[in-house]
Amino acid sequence: MYIFISVLIIIVAILIVLIVLVQNSKGGGLAANFAGNNQVMGVRKTADFLEKATWVLIIAFFVLNVLAVYTMPRPQTDQVKSELQENINVDAPVQQPTAPEDIPTETEE
């Protein structure tokens, strides 16, 4: 399920990028290319559609990300040990370092 949601997130993200790139902040963009008089969708309706599509995709992106967090596979907590924890032997006594018995002295020449 997590992989399916991840694929949907990628598709929605690509669609958001494409729709935002099609829009023009000054009312042009895709709407400016279809400025004919006998169209089914006029300039304003195209801009409204792109704005609504952007909001729908952003909401879908947010919801899919929240779902992905809840469906993310997690390892079992009792089986998770780091390599360091596995190498530590708790039963073995800890040896204190000892000072060397023979300390060399400097000889004067």
| CA 54 – CA 17 distance, rounded (Å) | 9
pLDDT digits (tens, 9 = 90+) for 8-22: 999 999 999 999 888
Backbone angles phi, psi at 25, to 5 degrees: -65, -20
Contact call for residues 24 and 32 (beta carbons, < 8 A)? yes
**pLDDT tier, 57 (very low <50, low <70, confident <90, very high otherwise):** very high
Name the residue with higher pLDDT: 108 or 46: 46
Contact (Cβ atoms closer than 8 angstroms) between residue 53 and residue 31:
no
Query: What integer best gives the mean pLDDT of the chain?
Result: 76
- Of 10, 20, 2, 22, which is closest to residue 60 (Cα–Cα)? 10
pLDDT tens-digit readout, 60-77? 999 999 999 998 887 766
What pLDDT score does 50 carry?
86
